[in-house]
Amino acid sequence: MSAPILHTEGLECRFPIKGSFGRRLGEIRALDGVSFALHHGEILGLVGESGCGKSTLGKTIMGIQSPDAGRIVFDGHDIAGQSPKEARALRRRLQYAYQDPGASLDPRWRIGRSLEEPLVIHTDLPASERRRKVREILVSVGLPAGHIDLYPHELSGGQQRRVGLARILMLNPEVVILDEPTAGLDVSVQATVLSLFRDLRAQFDLTYIFISHDLSVVRLMCHRVAVMYLGRIVEIGPVEDIMSRPTHPYTQSLLAAIPRIGGRRVTETFWLEGEPPDASRLPQGCRFQGRCPHVQPICREIDPPDREVGAQLSACHFAGEIEVPPAAEDAT
Amino acid sequence: MNESLLDVDGLSLGFSGEAGFAHILDGVTLRMKPGEIRGLVGESGCGKTTLASAILGVLPRHALKIRGGTIRFDGTDMLSRTATADQARVRGRKVTFIPQDPFTSFNPVFTIGQQVDELMKWKSPERENAGVPRHPLFTRYPRARRRRDRERILSTLASVQLPQPEQILKKYPHEVSGGQRQRLMIAMALLPEPDLIIADEPTTALDVTIQAQILGLLRKLATERGAAVLLTTHDLGSAYEICDSVTVMYAGQDVEAAPVDAFFNAPAHPYTGKLLASRPEGAGGMTGIPGEVPSFYDPPPGCRFAPRCPRATADCKRRPDPSHPGEGHMVRCYHPIDAGSAAEAAEIVGAER
């Protein structure tokens, strides 16, 4: 494959925990050495439980947060920690779709005005041209052009998502970061929104980073998946490989936790106990040690480096050696 | 009455608001046996939560208009406006509730222990006459009962697998995680030793690994203690996990009710079939259901799914009567999917793998 359109190297992002009088009590390592590459035209899934740093990663790439260390290279340029002015040109090509589009639309603006705003900021098109473009994009996301004059509260959740997407497409971006694009949607609406994403990708030649906690959606949509746990990518690889042969115990348990209709009941076979530890008090060694069923003494001492297993990279000392528990095997 | 614990029969109700009268529930029938775990499945806005609140009797009285039907819980008429004392005795004591959002369901300014004690003061299984409203100042909480209740609380917290129950009771709600808060909610729903637990989307706000733990816990404890559970959910997967039978609702109407195996292997209502096919795991997935849920202010007459239904005919202007394609299987449709026909079965069930 050609050079990646976007890649990160050792990206770190820490949030300080402040006590009284601004004393620094500790820090949350929201991103802890994240490296990955995104190729042109692909859909990269980013999965993990809440609080594992998925959204932080997306926002750091966008420049909404600046990283504490590491590089983000977009199209040959290091964009980490750019000034807002420098970043502006970039914003046209890199866009972020927020989790809740209802909350990111101005309730007092009509849809048409919200959609027009990016054009006003980034281009010097005349008003008539702008309006023509708004109408064009609105139709391509599957909304009637008449919706230009509606207010956000008059739309349903699925329609609001389409408007959110339309606003992102206004500037013809190349990479779109979709943050939980189907959270809170019903299955029937979710299905239509997902197929819209696919159609638009073909139509506008887009590359997606697809942040989600729903592995079944990710399996359907993505080419590659990165699984995050407490600020680190613990496994990354092609979607079929990860779904059929997960090598990291955390990926295995995530896959096993999905209820599968017609299969064995997960609630009877699920083995993972406990909850993720506090991100401000990461243990020494592997961050999954407290919940891992295969934990060995080495896991408590050395944070495992990425290990190559086939096309997958897995941050586990025993990647490729651990047996997949029975419930995960059903997933194939 | 002896065989069914909860009996909702032809319930129609709505709310009057500024935009007119909203016909929320239309002739909903739901019957639950003691100890049964039933899933109430439907998309958002289909009336699941309204039905659950109606059973509890906590709908806002000033806007509510009941247009017909009955709700009987173990012999108590939950809709009557005269038997309020009986209803209060049932509410929170015989029927308890697990809310959707564990994050907003605790009062942030009291410790968890204070809030659990408050519950037990009023709804302890040992309390005579539980629930009859009296001024709090004149209600005593005898020390002996308080001690016994304390033991009961600690053992219940241990049974929902919360580590160090005594420490947790001293904490404030923000100090525990979402999964732990939902465990606490389950514990509080179990403490009054209810006959029916209404769980309103108890795992929607949780991660998938925590969801598997919580659902397993709910099923285990309800079975152990002989409580029936009404689990409302929009996730067919979680319904499959723990339910004995499933009722599907669409836009305020019950369209299909079936034991869990029959439901997933041989769905009869076109809506159910479409819903199963929309799941991302389905091979024919991503089709979705064209069209939108109808407005409650002006619902279509008869079957409310008719405008989106590929099988709809003129007959569908009248609400279909229940028919029974199988044992315990009820469907309200003039043109149900025939599970025997191979082509149709493939169209729907084939989407599962």
pLDDT the model gives residue B300: 87
Interface-testing mutation among A187, A270, A272, with chain B (most B C-beta atoms within 10 A): A187
Torsion on CA atoms A92, A93, A97, A98, rounded to nearest 10: -60
Instruction: Quote the tokens at residue A306.
Output: 């990425």
pLDDT the model gives residue B129: 64
How large is the angle between the packed helices A249-256 and B208-225, nearest 10 degrees? 50
Q: What is the pLDDT along chain B (353 residues), one digit of tens a residue?
A: 457 899 999 999 988 878 788 888 998 999 999 989 999 998 888 888 889 888 888 888 888 888 888 999 888 888 887 777 788 888 888 899 998 887 788 999 999 999 999 888 888 888 776 555 667 777 778 888 899 999 999 999 988 888 888 889 999 998 888 888 888 999 999 998 899 999 988 887 778 888 888 888 889 888 888 899 999 988 888 888 889 999 999 998 999 999 998 888 888 899 988 888 888 776 555 677 777 788 888 888 888 998 888 888 888 888 888 888 888 899 999 988 875 554 454 554 444 43
Report the gap between the CA of A62 and the closest CA in chain B (Å): 25
What CA–CA distance (Å, rounded) separates A12 from B182? 32
- Listed as own residue / partner, the contacts of A279-286 with beta carbons closer than 8 Å and 24 or more positions apart are A279/A28, A279/A29, A279/A30, A279/A51, A279/A53, A279/A230, A279/A231, A280/A17, A280/A26, A280/A27, A280/A28, A280/A29, A281/A26, A282/A29, A282/A32, A282/A230, A286/A315, A286/A316, A286/A317
DSSP A23: -
Cross-chain residue pair A156–B281, CB shorter than 8 Å: no
Q: What is the pLDDT of residues B44-92, one digit of tens each?
A: 888 888 898 888 888 888 888 888 889 998 888 888 877 777 888 888 8
- DSSP of B200-267: ESTTTTS-HHHHHHHHHHHHHHHHHHT-EEEEEES-HHHHHHH-SEEEEEETTEEEEEEEHHHHHHS-
Instruction: Quote the tokens at residue A133.
Output: 């473009």
pLDDT the model gives residue B134: 66
Instruction: Quote the tokens at residue B71.
Output: 């709700």
Q: Give the domain ranges of chain B.
A: 6-243, 247-352
Residues of A with CB under 8 A from a CB of B: 49-50, 156-157, 186-192, 194-195, 213-217, 219-220, 253-254, 256-262, 265-268, 270, 272-273, 275
Helices (H) and strands (E) in chain B, counts: 11, 12
Q: Tokens 């053992």: give the residue.
A: B155
Q: What is the pLDDT of residues B204-255, one digit of tens each?
A: 777 888 888 888 888 988 888 889 999 998 888 888 888 999 999 999 899 9
Contacts of B290 in chain A (CB under 8 A): 192
Report the gap between the CA of B52 and the closest CA in chain A (Å): 19
What CA–CA distance (Å, rounded) separates A36 from B41? 40
Q: What is the pLDDT of residues A122-165, one digit of tens each?
A: 888 899 999 999 999 998 888 888 888 999 888 888 888 888 88
Lowest-confidence region among A164-168, A266-270, B85-89: A266-270
Q: What is the pLDDT of residues A183-237, one digit of tens each?
A: 777 787 888 888 888 888 998 899 999 998 888 888 888 999 999 998 899 999 9
What CA–CA distance (Å, rounded) separates A11 from A233? 11
- Interface A–B counts its CB contacts (< 8 A) at 112
Cross-chain residue pair B264–A260, CB shorter than 8 Å: no
The answer on pLDDT for A331 being more than 80 is: no
Q: What is the pLDDT of residues A83-132, one digit of tens each?
A: 777 777 777 888 888 877 778 888 999 999 999 998 998 888 899 999 99
Q: Tokens 């419930």: give the residue.
A: A327
pLDDT the model gives residue A227: 93
pLDDT the model gives residue A330: 45
Contacts of A269 in chain B (CB under 8 A): none
Instruction: Quote the tokens at residue B265.
Output: 């292997």
Beta bridge partners, A11, equal A34
Report the gap between the CA of B87 and the closest CA in chain A (Å): 34
| CB distance B121 to B141 below 8 Å | yes
What value of ipTM does the predicted structure carry?
0.76
What CA–CA distance (Å, rounded) separates B230 from B250? 17
| CB distance A138 to A115 below 8 Å | yes
Give me the domains of chain A, ranges plus CATH numbers.
Answer: 6-93+173-329 (3.40.50.300)
Give the H or E element holding residue A326.
Answer: helix A326-329
pLDDT the model gives residue A329: 45
What CA–CA distance (Å, rounded) separates B93 from B40? 22
pLDDT the model gives residue B169: 92
Cross-chain residue pair A270–B274, CB shorter than 8 Å: no
* Average of per-residue pLDDT values in chain A: 85
pLDDT the model gives residue B342: 44
Contacts of A213 in chain B (CB under 8 A): 207-208
Among candidates B288, B277, B279, B353, which has minimal Cα distance to A196? B288
Tally of CB atoms within 10 A around B155: 11
Tally of CB atoms within 10 A around B270: 25
Residues of B with CB under 8 A from a CB of A: 43-44, 177-180, 207-213, 215-216, 219, 234-238, 240-242, 264-265, 274-276, 278-281, 285-290, 292, 352-353
pLDDT the model gives residue B352: 40
- Chain B residue with Cα closest to A270: B212
pLDDT the model gives residue A86: 76
Tell me the fold of B6-243.
Rossmann fold (3.40.50)
Cross-chain residue pair B237–A260, CB shorter than 8 Å: yes
Phi/psi region, residue B57 (left: phi>0; alpha: psi -120 to 50; beta: rest), is left
